[in-house]
Amino acid sequence: MTPLSDDIATARPDLGLAVRQSIYDGFLAEGRSLSAAEIAGRLGTGVGEVRQELKKLAQAHALVLQAESGEVLMANPFSAVPTALPVTSQGRSWWGNCIWDALGILAMVGADGDVATACPDCGEALSLSIRAGTLSGGPAIAHFFVPVRSWWEDIVFT
């Protein structure tokens, strides 16, 4: 007879992948990040194991953890906390980390939707929409203040 732990490892050889998939499933289905405890419950594993996998994913720049709690802060394109980039589609809503991520959420969802934000320079309200795969909302420029090569030096600021 095979020990139960061996059966679990065989059925789910890559816990990190399962944890990451659970994070995205939570964002897509519930509009929020699942806690480590919720992920553990869904995967039938321990919270400690999930937290270890979250740390590995953060070290690989697959996501960003909250410094205090160790819970997910960012799993691009999603933010687990409110930002200046709310995204709505089909009665659901999410938060984008930047305009690139906000539009990425709509691409990931594959449906029409809207992004509300403001110009970081002058504060003018901006609204972007995707309808039938076409972006509209008037002239705007996405400006990235930090060079790409430096993004992960402080990805939250970036």
Tens of pLDDT along 113-129?
A: 999 999 888 889 999 99
pLDDT of residue 153: 76
Which one is the CATH code of 79-153: 3.15.10.60, 3.20.20.70, 3.40.50.620, 3.50.50.60?
A: 3.15.10.60
Judge residue 137's burial from the number of C-beta atoms within 10 Å of its C-beta, 0-12 exposed, 13-18 middle, 19 or more buried. middle
User: Has residue 6 got a pLDDT over 80?
Assistant: no
Per CATH, domain 4-69 is 3.40.50: no
In angstroms, the CA 131 to CA 53 distance is 37
User: Has residue 142 got a pLDDT over 90?
Assistant: no
**pTM score, whole prediction:** 0.83
Per the model's pLDDT, the better-predicted residue between 51 and 2 turns out to be: 51
In angstroms, the CA 78 to CA 94 distance is 7
Sorted by where each begins, the domain ranges of the chain are 4-69, 79-153
